[in-house]
Amino acid sequence: MASGEEFGVKLRLYASECPRNDFYLDRVEQLAGELGLICTVEKVMDEADIAAQGFDSVCQPSYCPGCRANHMSLDDPNGLYLPVLAGNGKPLFWNVPPSDEALRAALEEFL
């Protein structure tokens, strides 16, 4: 994986400050490394950048009990709510972090 220099796949995790998102980002980096995926990985927390992508946040500013519990009752289950993982600008997962299997399958599409 690249650090600093951008090339290959650009993976961006649009997220709140919740520590669960740091764990999510670590999983993305780990699986991308295991696959040998040439990529850059970035966590985006800037509210203007998030809004410009059309993503919504229902996250609390600090640690919460969990995305699944908070997001299951959303009025619009098809909305793009944080956290959102995008690959080359295309949203791959949103609302809740994916399973390792789903994440691996999505990253394999970029090989």
- Summarize pLDDT for 3-28 with one digit per residue, the tens: 444 579 999 999 988 888 899 999 99
Residue 56: the pLDDT is 85
C-alpha span between 41 and 9 (Å, rounded) = 8
Nearest by Cα to 67 from 57, 59, 75: 59
> Whole-angstrom Cα distance, residue 61 to residue 110?
32
pLDDT at 74 over 70: no
> Does residue 68 surpass a pLDDT of 60?
no
As a whole number of angstroms, the distance between CA 67 and CA 95 comes to 7
The number of residues making up the chain comes to: 111
The pLDDT mean for the chain works out to 84
pLDDT at 64: 58
* Domains of the chain, residue spans: 9-108
Which tokens is 5 given? 């220099």
pTM of the model: 0.83
Top-level class of domain 9-108: alpha beta
The mean pLDDT value for 79-88 works out to 90
